[in-house]
Chain A
Amino acid sequence: MNKAEQNANAVHIENVSKSFGSAHAVADVTFSVARGEIFGLLGPNGAGKTTLIRIILDIFKPDSGKVEILGGPMTEQKFNRIGYMPEERGLYQNISLERCLVYLATLKGMPTAEAHRRLKTYLERFDLAAHKKKKVKELSKGMQQKAQVICTLIHEPELILVDEPFSGLDPINTQMIKDLMRELRDRGATIVMSTHMMRQVEELCDRIILVNQGESVLYGNLNEIRRRFSGHAVLIRSGGELPRLPGVKQALPQNNEIKLTLEEGTSPQEILRELIRQNVLLEKFEIAIPSLDEIFIRVVKKGGA
């Protein structure tokens, strides 16, 4: 890898469009994925996420726009530096797990002996060592999902693209994959994750792009986006009755808390000062930041309206 490649983004997509006949799958999308980050590629079904992933991977050529992967256009050599996990499982069903994974690893440029060595470690880590001689089709859905993860990571790629990585996994394995993704990020790998599971995105992703109907509708740092959508409200939990507060438009109970929607011109700091002045026993006071789920629904509904 040369210095320019090292400094460049792992993925850079600029004004990319792609149509299939009269259907616009992707329209003028621009985004970058920095090296060493976990990037969320979000969107409702049919939004164009998979098309974008396939454009990144050079499976589809865009009709227009520029695509740069690991510092330049895609080349055959770069295939070996990329790991891809498709949404629906991409493993041979009628051969043994070991043969399947070693074959796919060698196609990523690994020597066979090294592929066997690394596979042994991964199979043990994922509790699949006892099943390595079984045909892939004989494994449970969760096991196949773990096998697919091994297939994506065994050659230690710099750029990892995963489509719905948590689908079919129980909570223990979900946690294991999350830990693994953090570990890979800490080791310098870049991860592009396409998923519907917003909780996982909130936990893992540094930045996101939300695509809807082929267009980019939200893009940037996850915390900034949430703050941008936070609106003008605070969440309060107190030991007793809440007094009447000036500058509060609406007070709505929400689980054990109360969400106060503030009037224009009133700041959360003024409300906090007023609560302290009135000696309200506060157990919790926080600016109401919407969940990614709420943002997703709000943006997609707005886009669809």
Chain B
Amino acid sequence: MSKIWLVAAQEYKRQVLTKKFFLVLLIFPGFFLLIFAIAYLTNRAEDRNIPIGYVDQSGFLKNPLPLKQENAFDLPARLPVIAFQKEKEAQKALEEGKIQCYYILPPDYPENKKVGLVYFKPPGQNATGRFWNFLQMNFLRSLPPDKARRAVEDFNLVIRWPEGGVGGGREISEKDGLNMLLPFFVGILFILILFISSGAFIGALVEEKGNRTIEILMTSLTPGKLITGKIIGVIAVSLTEITFWIFCLLVQAFIAGRLLSMDLLQNLSLAPGIVLSLFAIALPYYILAASLMTLVGVSVAEPHEAQQSVVLFIFPIWITFLLIKPIIDNPQGPLALVLSFFPLTSLSAFCVRIGFSRVPVWQVVLASLILCLSAAGAMALAGRAFRLGMLRYGKRLSLKDIFPRRSHE
């Protein structure tokens, strides 16, 4: 195996095979789980899992269509709709607690479309919703099933930007409204991971410098290979985290949306084009950031100084988020474009823009190219600083050392 890959594997294992990493890895899925659980339980708190009844005096539900199962956990047996011939029977069942309520379809129901509801305690939200669906389905039973289904489904507001306009022909519907925020959210995850990894990465460099391991490494492979291996390692760690988090988020959203009927999450998805665009920006951005981290790691003498230096990466991202409103208002405006093409704000700017507008491919390619060039320059600089800085035990490395008038390696 090439020495670069050996270093990358070591850097990866050094960060991944720790309790801290697993804790960080599970914190976010745990957080999502908690949010979904709270939302689900809040929703279900208003439900009562006792059958409901109805008395059809109009004959409208003489041969009713069976009630469809709404989701995997919505077992019909848990909330059956029971037909009673007479109101007296329904009343008796209600008094005995066998049903939570009963509906009465009066003889003039086909004309008036009014139903009566009898209960002791207000029925759960699931009960009313269920009977409403039952009625709707039977009301439309003369239609072909697909038309009936479409008619039963809620209406969906769709917003479409005109082609060539600010939104560039983008379409957002009410049902997949969260998809607009998802790229932004994923972008935040990218940035968050960067901060988490940067601390560990810089800390490791300072440790290697402190315990002289660096001398062994520098007599085993060239500084260029060493840095490249370390950068690949730290990027692999970040990709592991982001992939796991996105996977968990989508699985949890699927469970919450499809199986637990949480409407907002039912259509959650991340378009492959958006994922590709984010990766095209994030990958070179990570290389740039890792090279800058190397510069910081070899320039400082103490681990706490390294931690403080992370603010250098936070500042440009913070600027982007401060300017989020003008960027959203005009995602193709000069401010959005400048921030998208400036290497240190590129990722955060794209994260904001990509969710709210359709970003042209050429902009993604150009930004990625600028980032790649910046990353290559930063890597070369990091290599020089590495050689100079790693052997200066207990001393800081200044810009004057990295760019001397006369070379003193």
Size range of the chain B interface in the assembly: 20 to 34
Contact in complex: A57, B220 (CB < 8 Å): no
Contact in complex: B212, A89 (CB < 8 Å): yes
Count of inter-chain pairs, beta carbons less than 8 A: 64
Size range of the chain A interface in the assembly: 20 to 34
Contact in complex: B211, A76 (CB < 8 Å): no
Contact in complex: B211, A90 (CB < 8 Å): yes
- Give A171 to B361 CA distance when docked, in angstroms: 71
Contact in complex: A59, B216 (CB < 8 Å): no
Pick the residue among B3, B14, B215 that contacts A107 (CB under 8 A).
B3
Chain B residue at smallest Cβ distance from A82 = B219
Is A263 engaged at the interface, CB distance under 8 Å to the other chain?
no
| Other A-B pairs, 16, CB within 8 Å; known A19-B408, A84-B215 | A21-B408, A59-B387, A63-B408, A76-B222, A79-B221, A90-B211, A90-B213, A90-B216, A91-B211, A93-B211, A94-B14, A95-B14, A107-B3, A107-B217, A107-B221, A151-B216
Is A274 engaged at the interface, CB distance under 8 Å to the other chain?
no
- Give A60 to B6 CA distance when docked, in angstroms: 24
Pick 7 A–B contacts, CB within 8 A, sort by A.
Answer: A20-B408, A59-B391, A60-B409, A89-B212, A90-B213, A90-B214, A107-B6
Q: Smallest Cβ distance from A299 to chain B, in angstroms? A: 28
Chief secondary structure at chain B's binding surface: helix
| B-chain residues with CB within 8 Å of residue A84 when the two chains form the complex | 215-216, 219
Contact in complex: B220, A79 (CB < 8 Å): yes
Q: List B142-165 residues whose CB lies under 8 Å from chain A.
A: none
Chain A residue at smallest Cβ distance from B393 = A88
Contact in complex: B215, A59 (CB < 8 Å): yes
| B-chain residues with CB within 8 Å of residue A57 when the two chains form the complex | 218-219
Chain B residue at smallest Cβ distance from A91 = B213
Is B1 engaged at the interface, CB distance under 8 Å to the other chain?
yes
Q: List B1-34 residues whose CB lies under 8 Å from chain A.
A: 1, 3, 6-7, 10, 14
| A-chain residues with CB within 8 Å of residue B391 when the two chains form the complex | 54, 59-60
Q: Smallest Cβ distance from A160 to chain B, in angstroms? A: 11
| B-chain residues with CB within 8 Å of residue A30 when the two chains form the complex | none
Is A108 engaged at the interface, CB distance under 8 Å to the other chain?
yes
Knowing A91-B213, A92-B213, A107-B3, the reply to whether A79 touches B409 (Cβ < 8 A) is: no
- Give A79 to B208 CA distance when docked, in angstroms: 19
- Give A81 to B1 CA distance when docked, in angstroms: 18
Chain B residue at smallest Cβ distance from A83 = B219
Knowing A54-B391, A76-B222, the reply to whether A104 touches B1 (Cβ < 8 A) is: no
Is A103 engaged at the interface, CB distance under 8 Å to the other chain?
yes
- Give A276 to B207 CA distance when docked, in angstroms: 68
Pick the residue among A20, A76, A82, A86 that contacts B215 (CB under 8 A).
A86
Q: Smallest Cβ distance from A22 to chain B, in angstroms? A: 11
Q: List A51-107 residues whose CB lies under 8 Å from chain B.
A: 54, 57, 59-61, 63, 76, 79-80, 82, 84, 86, 88-95, 103-104, 106-107
- Give A19 to B404 CA distance when docked, in angstroms: 14
Q: List B186-217 residues whose CB lies under 8 Å from chain A.
A: 207-208, 211-217
Q: Smallest Cβ distance from A60 to chain B, in angstroms? A: 7
| B-chain residues with CB within 8 Å of residue A79 when the two chains form the complex | 219-221
Q: Smallest Cβ distance from B151 to chain A, in angstroms? A: 64
